[in-house]
Each structure stands twice: as C-alpha cells, then as structure tokens.
Amino acid sequence: MTRIPTLYAFERSLDAMNERRVALARSQMQLSTGRRVNAPGDDPLGAAQAERARSQRARLDIERRMNDFARTMLGQAESAMAGASDTLQGARETLIAAGSGVLAPADRTMLAHALRGARDELLSIANRPDGAGGYVFGGQGSARAPFDASGTPAWLPHAGEQSTGLDVPFTTSQDGRAVFVDLDGTGTRQSIFQTIDDAIALLDDAGAPGDARAAGLDTALNGVDAALGRLLLARTRAGEQMRAIDSRERLIESGEIELSGRISDLVDADYASTITRHQQNQTALEAAMITYAQVARSSLFQYL
C-alpha cells in the first residue's frame, strides 16, 4: 500500500507560497523606492559599503562648507588689503610731496591733514569686521577690534592666524601684526600708524629743523614702503589660497560624483531586472497557490 504524505505536501506548498509572497513584496518595495537595498538585511555587505560611502560623502560636504567659509574670509581680506594698499600709496605720494624744501608752513599743514585722513582710513581698514563675529585682521581671534584707536594704535589679539579645513587648512583671519606692524631701525616694534603719526608731528612742528624734518620724512617713507611690501606679500598668499580652494573644490566635486555613483551601484535597483524578477515572483506565487489548492483538496478517498 502506498502512503500519501498529504500533510508534508501541504506544508511544503504553504512554505513555497509564503516564500513567493516575501519575494514579491521585496520586489514591489524595490520598484516603489527605486532601491535594491531598503534594509541592511537585503544585502548586509552592500549596505555596509554604502554606509561608508555616505560617510565619506558627508565628510566632503563638510569640507566644502569649510572651504566656502574660508573663500569668503579670504575674499574680504584681499579686498581690505587692496584698500589698504591704495591708502598707503596715497600716503606715500603725500610724504614725497612733503619732502620738498620749498614748502610753506601752510602747505605742510595741508599735507599733514591729508596724512591724518590716510591714517584714519588705514586704521578703519585694519579694524574691519569680517561679518562672522570676528575681524579680518584679528589674528588668532579677539572680542575687540585688533588695533586700539584710543591712542597710538596698539595690537591687541594674539599674533597668528585662524584657519579651517579638514585635509587642507585655509586661512580665515589675517595676522594684523604681520601686516601693519614692523621692526624699526632700533629693533623695536612700530606700527605703520605710529610711523604716519611721527610724520604728521614733523609736518605740524613749524620749528623743526629742515634736516631733522627731511630725515624723519625719509624714515616714514621707508616705513610706508615696508608696509606696502608686507601687504603685497599677504595679498599674494591670500590669492594663492583662493586658487588652492578652487582646485580643492574641483577635487571635492569629483569625489562626490564618484561616491554617488558608488552608492547607486550598491543600493539602487536595476529597473529592468527588478521588473523581470517581479513578474517571475508573481508567476511563481500563482503556481504555488494552485499547488496549495490542489493539495488542500486532496484526501485518501481520491486514491482508493
């Protein structure tokens, strides 16, 4: 006598039908989301690799924002230094004119007034805010303007610069002391503001000997030239950093495109193959349901 394993066939048909339902639901989810991996269990290795790629892409996005901030700060610094250079060029021309030996006291007074205007404008540039709570020439940071305007301008913050960036740092503040302060002939630090103030005092002193006035104006002219040289160097560095940021930006963009493609390869669905698989799952589910129905109708009496 042949034994008919009806219960076993019933269970196998039910398991097959459930498996096809799960597969069909997965393919439906892939089609609706456009993603092959919707949960780590769909592909543990692919999900882990995609998560690492997303972390790398997020890091690039952070670096991009840092670089954008540095570019803004460097642009402000370059603009400020351009204005400072123009102001110092005007002061230089005034000092050259003041060195003439045929000037009347009234002429020297007028030139002193012009130098005061240049000095005040230069101080305003040196204390320019950066729009982010700091100062363009704020060194390593200060809650106050970097140069004290109450008397002879004195440098207040710590010397140095601030910077931002992950793999490549870029400057976000300028060292005002390196730009506006220099060593005088005796090895003492003297700001360009003091240099201009000394020249103004000479022009205002009607009783100053001609030789002393000429020597003092010559010293002031040398000080202005030195300041112009420091400004040129600082502007060159700022320009180089801005070009470096542009170059870095291109690398970041290329990296983001590559990582996005990698993530897509790992988790996105191939619609053509997913549709085919979905249709196959539907067909298999229908077949499993037919088999289940046939097994459910089976009984021992059909075989007697």
pLDDT-based confidence at 296, cuts 50/70/90?
A: low
Of residues 166 and 237, more confidence is placed in 237
131, two tokens: 């729009």
Question: What is the average pLDDT across 97-104?
Answer: 87
Question: What is the average pLDDT across 77-87?
Answer: 97
Query: Rounded to whole angstroms, how far apart are CA atoms 111 and 119?
Result: 12
pLDDT at 278 over 70: no
Query: Rounded to whole angstroms, how far apart are CA atoms 237 and 247?
Result: 15
57, two tokens: 């892409």
Question: What is the average pLDDT across 106-110?
Answer: 93
85: left (phi over 0), alpha (psi -120 to 50) or beta: alpha
Q: Where are the beta strands (DSSP E) in the chain?
A: 163-164, 170-171, 181-183, 189-191
Question: What is the average pLDDT across 116-139?
Answer: 95
Question: Long-range contacts of range 236-239, CB-CB < 8 Å, 24 or more positions apart?
Answer: 237/171, 238/74, 238/77, 238/78, 238/81, 238/171, 238/174, 239/78
- Residues 182-234 pLDDT 10s: 766 556 788 999 999 999 999 999 888 889 999 999 999 999 999 999 999 99
Residue 187 neighbours by CB distance under 10 Å? 6
Share of the chain above pLDDT 90, in %: 54
Q: What secondary structure letter does DSSP report for 137? A: T
Residue 54 neighbours by CB distance under 10 Å? 16
Does this model's pTM top 0.85? My answer is no
**Identity (one letter) of the amino acid at 155?**
W
Query: Rounded to whole angstroms, how far apart are CA atoms 216 and 39?
Result: 79
153: left (phi over 0), alpha (psi -120 to 50) or beta: beta
DSSP labels, 81-111: HHHHHHHHHHHHHHHHHHT-TT--HHHHHHH
pLDDT of residue 142: 84
pLDDT of residue 183: 64
First-last CA distance in the chain: 10
